[in-house]
Amino acid sequence: MEISARNVFTGTIKSISYGEILAEVVIELPGGLEITSLITKSSAERMKLTEGTGVSTVIKASNVMVATD
Amino acid sequence: MEISARNVFTGTIKSISYGEILAEVVIELPGGLEITSLITKSSAERMKLTEGTGVSTVIKASNVMVATD
Amino acid sequence: MEISARNVFTGTIKSISYGEILAEVVIELPGGLEITSLITKSSAERMKLTEGTGVSTVIKASNVMVATD
Amino acid sequence: MEISARNVFTGTIKSISYGEILAEVVIELPGGLEITSLITKSSAERMKLTEGTGVSTVIKASNVMVATD
Amino acid sequence: MEISARNVFTGTIKSISYGEILAEVVIELPGGLEITSLITKSSAERMKLTEGTGVSTVIKASNVMVATD
Amino acid sequence: MEISARNVFTGTIKSISYGEILAEVVIELPGGLEITSLITKSSAERMKLTEGTGVSTVIKASNVMVATD
């Protein structure tokens, strides 16, 4: 599957914690970068996400801001 | 400045291209990962962004999706 | 590929129009519903999108608002 | 009321489930398509949303991604 | 019309500038606060937006970040 | 720190309420306008946000919709 989002990075789930509706997923990318994702709990369960699962993080370019010091 | 967005990564601007209203900015992170950002042209000009500028990319966790093959 | 976004609908591209940085894509779903998507021009070109292409529209649940009269 | 979001679809609430802060609302559109929305619990209560309520789903074009197999 | 977005503020259009696909709209709120919105050009035309038009700005709570110095 | 988001408004935290994963923060701006933000609980704790804390609200222009009656 190809997706219009410009930022697709492969990594591995480092941790996953659940609320009633949401799941907070921390994904480790090659080189040690960690990205935090907030998805619905039912999606995390549907996709059988657990620590160690190989995943891609998908981020639209319009959702990436730029900051300078 | 600290921001509630969970994903703040430092990098360097690799390229920047302009439309009439938008600017497409490619940022290279340590380790070679490249993130594409879409911001308004006037923000890019206000912040004097050019190739080589040191920046941070800022991404809300709720804007990061997870995909599996 | 499975994605955490809860709303994935298959359809066909009805029209696509380009600006300098963006592409406006109208997708027709079964039953005649039309969804408009705004993606980057380079994504549309990378994915070789044209009228008649079979696609899926992908929408995070947190980006769907509800309104009442 | 008219809104700049390009995707406004009328439908009926099929189900609504609550967490502490969020509400997950499934809306059935004519033709059987189901859209899942994530809004705040207090908005769902303010708007008195229940199963069977007639609503519109509102989605910005820039929040609709396109994917191909 | 009532909408699930938590932040709805009335104001007046101060300026509007067009690209090929987008329109950048600056809205002045009571008390002098100015909010910039980026919508599609066709929405701006559909809604006949011009300087002086009375409008509401609509912002989902999940799209509001918090920063501290 | 400068950020590409076009809408940065200073204010004071009026209230903050927690779920398991999220925090709902109401910020009062000069002139009495109140903006509601939804951030992760861990960000609110990391930033030591409490009632009375001076903050900025940060909103991308592309996340601001316009509505007319």
Contact E23, F62 (CB under 8 A): no
Residue E1 scores a pLDDT above 90: no
Stated as kind and residue range, the H or E segment containing D24 is strand D22-28
Residue A65 scores a pLDDT above 90: yes
Phi and psi at residue D62, to the nearest 5°: -75, -5
- The answer to whether the CB atoms of D68 and C62 lie below 8 A apart is no
Nearest to E28 by CA among E15, E45, E42, E43: E15
How close does chain B come to E9, measured CA to CA in Å?
23
Which pLDDT belongs to residue F31? 87
Which pLDDT belongs to residue A1? 82
- The answer to whether the CB atoms of D66 and A20 lie below 8 A apart is no
Contact E3, E61 (CB under 8 A): no
Dihedral sign for Cα atoms in the order F39, F40, F46, F52? positive
User: Which chains have 3 or more CB–CB distances shorter than 8 Å to chain E?
Assistant: B, C, D, F
The alpha carbons of chain B give a radius of gyration, in whole angstroms, of 13
pLDDT, one tens digit per residue, over C47-68 is: 999 999 999 999 999 999 999 9
Q: Which residues have C-beta within 8 Å of that of residue B29, sequence separation ≥ 6?
A: A33, B9, B10, B11, B35, B57
- The answer to whether the CB atoms of B43 and A32 lie below 8 A apart is no
Q: Structurally, what CATH architecture does the domain formed by D7-60 represent?
A: Beta Barrel (2.40)
Residue B1 scores a pLDDT above 90: no
Dihedral sign for Cα atoms in the order F39, F45, F48, F50? positive
**Which residue in the set E18, E20, E65 is minimally distant from B60, CB to CB?**
E65
Q: Which two tokens stand for residue E7?
A: 């932040």
Residue A58 scores a pLDDT above 90: yes
Dist. CA E42–CA F69, nearest whole Å:
18
Give contacts of A40 with chain D, Cβ < 8 Å: 24, 36, 38
Question: What ipTM goes with this model?
Answer: 0.96
How close does chain B come to C51, measured CA to CA in Å?
24
3.90.1150.10, 2.40.50.100, 3.20.20.150, 3.40.50.300: CATH of E7-53? 2.40.50.100
Res. C31 pLDDT band, cuts 50 70 90: confident
Which pLDDT belongs to residue F1? 82
For chain D, the average pLDDT equals 96
What residue segments make up the domains of chain F, in order of their start? 7-58
Nearest to F6 by CA among F57, F66, F68: F57
Q: Structurally, what CATH architecture does the domain formed by B1-50 represent?
A: Beta Barrel (2.40)
Give contacts of B18 with chain C, Cβ < 8 Å: 20
Does A28 lie at the interface with B, CB-CB under 8 angstroms? no
Which pLDDT belongs to residue D31? 87
Residue range C1-47 forms a domain whose CATH class is mainly beta
Which pLDDT belongs to residue E46? 97
Give contacts of F56 with chain B, Cβ < 8 Å: 1
Res. B5 pLDDT band, cuts 50 70 90: very high
pLDDT, one tens digit per residue, over F13-56 is: 999 999 999 999 999 998 899 999 999 999 999 999 999 999 99
**Which residue in the set D3, D40, D43 is minimally distant from E58, CB to CB?**
D3
Residue A41 scores a pLDDT above 90: yes
Which pLDDT belongs to residue F2? 95
Strand ranges in A1-69 using DSSP code E only, listed in sequence order: 2-3, 7-18, 22-28, 34-40, 54-59, 65-68
Residue E48 scores a pLDDT above 90: yes
- The answer to whether the CB atoms of E38 and F7 lie below 8 A apart is no
pLDDT, one tens digit per residue, over B33-66 is: 999 999 999 999 999 999 999 999 999 999 999 9
Res. C1 pLDDT band, cuts 50 70 90: confident
Q: What percent of chain C has pLDDT over 70?
A: 100
How close does chain E come to D34, measured CA to CA in Å?
18
Which pLDDT belongs to residue D1? 82
pLDDT, one tens digit per residue, over D51-63 is: 999 999 999 999 9
Residues E60-65: what's their mean pLDDT? 97
- The answer to whether the CB atoms of E36 and F64 lie below 8 A apart is yes
Q: Structurally, what CATH architecture does the domain formed by A7-54 represent?
A: Beta Barrel (2.40)
In three-state form (DSSP H/G/I as H, E/B as E, the rest C), the secondary structure along chain C is CEECCCEEEEEEEEEEEECCCEEEEEEECCCCCEEEEEEEHHHHHHCCCCCCCEEEEEECHHHCEEEEC
For the domain F7-58, what is the CATH code?
A: 2.40.50.100
Does C33 lie at the interface with A, CB-CB under 8 angstroms? no
**How wide is the angle at C-alpha E54 spanned by C-alphas E2 and F37, nearest 5°?**
50
Contact F62, D62 (CB under 8 A): yes
